Amino acid sequence: MKQEIKPATGRLGVLVVGVGGAVATTMIVGTLASRKGLAKPIGSITQLATMRMENNEEKLIKDVVPLTNLEDIVFGGWDIFPDNAYEAAMYAEVLKEKDLNGVKEELEAIKPMPAAFDHNWAKRLNGTHIKKAATRWEMVEQLRQDIRDFKAANNCERVVVLWAASTEIYIPLSDEHMSLAALEKAMKENNTEVISPSMCYAYAAIAEDAPFVMGAPNLCVDTPAMWEFSKQKNVPISGKDFKSGQTLMKTVLAPMFKTRMLGVNGWFSTNILGNRDGEVLDDPDNFKTKEVSKLSVIDTIFEPEKYPDLYGDVYHKVRINYYPPRKDNKEAWDNIDIFGWMGYPMEIKVNFLCRDSILAAPIALDLVLFSDLAMRAGMCGIQTWLSFFCKSPMHDFEHQPEHDLFTQWRMVKQTLRNMIGEKEPDYLA
């Protein structure tokens, strides 16, 4: 049944947490350059991908559903460092200076608001451009005011809030996360052990009717309290952790093994990374958050309880090593021990020399545009269909996450078809 989708009129404010980080500045530069005709939005599903319609006609996704035009986006956000977006992009050293200079004036105009930050949640970071708040609740109130002020100052009809900042330390679900009332009580009592800065951003966004996207593996919107709040406010939430490099490869290779009924004995993954994210993950407490996210992928795809002979005893190890000389150019190695007919062993080795922010930037943009679309289509709560973009897809206690990239892609197209009242085409016709 066709959904009523409000048109994408007016300007869309995109407020990024960590707006001076490598991923954020790369996304912003690419978007500004694309709308000036200086670059192509390579890697962006919303800008380049097509889907087949019921009549077997191929159409660009952006021609199928009413997405916000890149021309109508206004960027802003928060950061623990005061550098404008041009200075921050120069520091990140992801993009060449000539590419930054093509949109220099626009970048220099993007100046971060002071961030809601707690050093205990990211001990390797020492920012000075931070808010002073007596409690987590006061932190939320300041962030809500920031959203309102930005929206008014930039004449925005709508806002999406995107987390593109560092990974926070690992914490398990606790009683304070199980209901909205418990969460709000913990914020007002300033329980800094269980209420992270990212939760303050998420709460503030939802309270201001802004979809929230979690681009890191933090325990943030992935809690019953946030699910309750997002449904109460009719706001979409999505995440978590941009699926950019090594995990992207896993969500392609693991389904291939399973589809062919090939067994796996072990999967060893290691990375070297030298950017700010790598520095933060060098702390064991922060790495634990990322490790849990990365380790969850292949178990869910393989279903070892269903195929014990093939996947009942897979040894899966993940490592990330901070190596400053590489900066944003991450290198990932995977050694996969598989077995086939009559149990004979084989090995697959993958060496992926990727650019972390180059892969993550279009994911961030797509999540923003699709979240805005979901909001205008009246969708709220966990956006399962956006699992395609995430390492650790959000899910409630009643459902299992879907990690197979190709199944996830089908979920995206099915959701878009449902929005416009289309059926899946008959590929055998």
Give residue-wise pLDDT tens across range 315-370.
999 998 999 998 888 899 999 999 999 999 999 999 999 998 999 999 999 999 99
| CA–CA gap between residue 33 and residue 71 (Å, rounded) | 11
The pLDDT of residue 186: 98
| CA–CA gap between residue 204 and residue 197 (Å, rounded) | 11
Supply the angle between the helices 22-35 and 356-376 in degrees, to the nearest 10.
70
Question: Where residue 282 falls among pLDDT bands split at 50, 70, 90?
Answer: confident
Q: Judge whether 118 and 58 are in contact, CB under 8 Å.
A: no
For residue 66, pLDDT beyond 90: yes
For residue 264, pLDDT beyond 80: yes
For residue 160, pLDDT beyond 90: yes
Cβ atoms within 10 A of the Cβ of 328, count? 23
Tens-place pLDDT, residues 203-213: 999 999 999 99
The pLDDT of residue 426: 82
DSSP 242: B
Mean pLDDT along residues 222-231: 97
| CA–CA gap between residue 40 and residue 34 (Å, rounded) | 5
Question: Where residue 1 falls among pLDDT bands split at 50, 70, 90?
Answer: low
Q: Judge whether 349 and 334 are in contact, CB under 8 Å.
A: yes
Tens-place pLDDT, residues 120-154: 999 888 889 999 999 999 999 999 999 999 999 99
The pLDDT of residue 278: 77
The pLDDT of residue 428: 63
Tens-place pLDDT, residues 378-392: 999 999 999 999 999
Q: Which is higher by pLDDT, 247 or 386? A: 386
Which is it for strands 50-52 and 58-60: parallel, antiparallel or unpaired?
antiparallel
pLDDT cut 90: percent of the chain above it: 84
Residue found by looking up tokens 């878009």 in the block: 416
Contacts of 355 (CB under 8 A, 6+ apart): 94, 328, 329, 330
The pLDDT of residue 399: 87
Which domains, from first to last, does the chain contain? 11-242+357-420 (3.40.50.720), 246-353 (3.30.360.10)
The pLDDT of residue 429: 54
| CA–CA gap between residue 299 and residue 302 (Å, rounded) | 5
Q: What is the pTM of this model?
A: 0.94
